[in-house]
Every structure is written in structure tokens, then in C-alpha cells.
Amino acid sequence: MWGILAAEPRTKCRLFSALALAAGLGLAGCSDIDNALFGEETDNGGAPAASADQFPPGNVPPPGTPGTLPPAPAATTASGSAPVIAITPVTIEPGSNTGTAVSATIATLRNELVTIEDHVGANASHLTELRNQGADAARSYQDAKANITTRLQVGTTRGNPELVAEWNIAQSALDSLATNINNMNALGATIATDSSSAHFALDQIQSTYAVSGAVDEDHRQLRVLEDETNQTIVLIDRLLRSVSEDTQRQTAYAANERANLTTLAAAIKNGELYGSDLGSPAVASAGGPMSASTLAYAGTPLVVIRFDHPGVDYQQILYAALSQALQSRPNAGFSVVAVSPTRGSAAAVQLAQTSAKNHAQEVLRSMTDMGVPATRLAVASATDPNATSSEVRVFVR
């Protein structure tokens, strides 16, 4: 059983749910997280907590409005650049006018296909540009994240303004990535429209075979145009599949890193590194047996925090215990129980119960800061005649 002695928690922060951030799939910004995690409050030691003023806007500019660019060379243009989409638009063969009504229809269909081919080339260039913008945003985010974790690993002060600035850079990079995902979705819708147009053109070409009044040259041109349209549809489908895969991959990445960034914010606030977000798939899927001292016996608390003297930091031990529990049972929930003693006068007992409930709420906030989804947490209260001070006991359920 994990047991520690703790007193009034060093810092209070507003309750928020890491699950809600993850549910946003990275498509929404987190500009209000500064105030949510670093509000203008003071801890019990009298030191001012980090405030929103310590969070200047990140210096990572959002990506510019993407435009259509000519296809880039087949090789990457810079270290870490996204690969260029290998799409070569089909060359549409010009046809001669035979003077028939069918020939006029073929000319109209050919012009429509040329327009679609122009869209294919532009969309391929657009996708390459969006991939590069996404890679730049991810690189900026990872650099800022690495700077933060390195400083936390070697030790730093609570609410270090330098790390706060790096955190804002990381958040700005994720916001840029979210914008990039939205642009990917818009590009996918445009390519889907071109796909519908190409299939409609193919149906018209095949229907034109049955129109009377055509000469042999008209049917030859129809066969060529049909082949070119089929090739165009293959290219469009390839583009559409690439956009869909990129969007899903970036969306999952952004959602996971939003949760990790939330945990990192709590670590900056306390000046110590926790680890991965406890709600992330990497932790949830990890293996490893639970030690017998923690969960082998029914009713044994995972963690006991006794608030009987000031200045004890319980977050690291709490994080380690939660991480181990989730490794053994990825879908586990937790009960946070406020335990108060029954000694003393009625007023003293009431005060002890209120104190224990406040401590339980603080532990609950710490757990959500570490990434435990709020839907997996429950709060309860109890009394214990053997307790000498208010306690918070965390159980796995």
C-alpha cells in the first residue's frame, strides 16, 4: 500500500477535465487553459502562483492560407519535409471536329475532363503543402515539449515563466496543426466533388456511344476519352485516400498530444515531471502485473494521503500509483474518499469533515491534471475513529 503524510496541498487550481480536451480531437484551441491551470491564487507558503500574465502568446505563427503551387520535385526539399504526392495528371488528347452532333458533345466532355485534370494537379500540390505545414507544426510542438521535459527532468522552480512560454509555443503549434486538419477536411471535400464530376463525365461518355449519327472517328475519340476519364478517376481516388489517411492520423495525434499537454501544464505548475498522460493509449495499453501490496486485498487503498503537517508533496507518489494501476487494469476507475476523524467536539468533527472534503477535491483535481478521465472518478466521504487527522484514500474500482 502506498502511504504518505501530506498537509494542505501546495497549490489550488480550478477543476477541469482532461477527457474534454481529448474529446475535442485537437480541432479546437485551448487558449483558456492558462487561466484554468495557472489562476491568480497563492499557495499556503505565500508564494504567488503562476498567473495568466506569465503566459504570453506563443511566438509560433499559424500557417498561412494554403494556395495552389506547382508540383514539387520527387525528392524531399528539406530535412523532415513531408513526401511529395506522386500524382501526374493525365494528358488529354485533343480531337478533331468531324462535323457531327456527337463530335460537339465529345468536345464538351473533353473540356470538362481538362478542367478536372487541372483540379487534380492543384489538389496534389495543395496536399503536399498541407503535409509540410503539418510537419512544421509537429516539429515546433515536439521541440517545445522536449525543452519543457528536459528542464523538468533536471529540476526547476514551480511555475517557471520560461517553461510557461515554451508551453504556449507548444499549444500554438497544436492550434496550427488543428487548423491544418480543418484545411485537410476542406481539401477532401473538394476532391470528393471532383470525383463525382469525373464519374458523371464517365457515365455521359458511355451514354454517348448509343447516340445515332456518329462516324467511326467519333467512337475512336470516345474510347480515348473513356480511357482518360478512367485514369483520372484512379488518380482522384488515390488523392482522396491520401487525404483521408492523413486527416485521421493527424487528428489522433493532435487529440493525444492535447491530453499530454494538459498533464505537462500541471507538471510545470508543480515544477516536477510526472510522465505521460494517464488517459493516453500508450499508458492504457501498457502491460505489467500489479504488485500484491496495492490491490491484492479487497478494500485496501491504492494511496493514503494524511494531511497532518504542511509541506509534503504527494503528486509524484500519486502519479506512480495511478500509472501502475492503469497498467494492470487499463479500464479501471477510482474512488476518492475523504476520511475525517471523530475525536473532539461536534464543531471540531464538522470542521474535520469539511477539511477532508476539501482535500479530496484537491486530490481529484490533481488526478484530472494527470490525465485521468473525469468519468472514471468518484468522490465519497467517511469517518474513521482511528484516524488522527483528515485523510484522502484512493481506491481502485
pLDDT at residue 312, as a whole number: 60
Based on the number of CB atoms within 10 Å of its own CB, is 48 exposed (0-12), middle (13-18) or buried (19 or more)?
Answer: exposed
Vertex 148: Cα angle to 144 and 150 (nearest 5): 115
Q: 3-state class of 224 per DSSP?
A: helix
Distance, CA of 323 to CA of 77 (rounded, Å): 42
Residue 94's CB: how many other CB atoms inside 10 A? 9
Distance CA 44, CA 111 (A): 75
Predicted local confidence at residue 4, as pLDDT: 41
- Map out the domains of the chain as residue ranges: 2-16+275-396, 101-270
pLDDT of res. 167: 94
Cell numbers of 129, please?
Answer: 503543402
- Between the alpha carbon of residue 238 and those of residues 91, 118, 173, the distances in Å are 17, 16, 29
Euclidean distance between CA atoms 264 and 274, whole angstroms: 8
What's the rounded Cα separation, in Å, for the pair 160 and 236? 50
Residue 126: per-residue pLDDT = 92
**Can you give the pLDDT at residue 53?**
39
Please tell me whether residue 116 adopts helix, strand or coil conformation. Answer: helix
Between CA 326 and CA 286 the distance in angstroms is 8
Residue ranges of the chain with per-residue pLDDT less than 70? 1-86, 274-298, 310-312
Residues contacting 21, CB < 8 A, separation 6+: 30, 33, 258, 259, 262
pTM: 0.54
Nearest to 170 by CA among 196, 139, 205, 194: 139
Q: CATH assignment of 2-16+275-396, given 3.90.380, 3.30.1330, 1.20.1070, 3.40.30?
A: 3.30.1330
pLDDT of residue 22: 36
pLDDT, position 6: 39
- The closest of 201, 189, 221 to 116, measured between CA atoms, is 201
The predicted pLDDT at position 375 comes to 82
What value does the CA radius of gyration of the chain take, rounded to a whole number of Å?
30
| Secondary element (H or E) of residue 266 | helix 216-270
The candidate with the shortest Cα–Cα distance to 339, out of 380, 373, 295, 371, is: 380
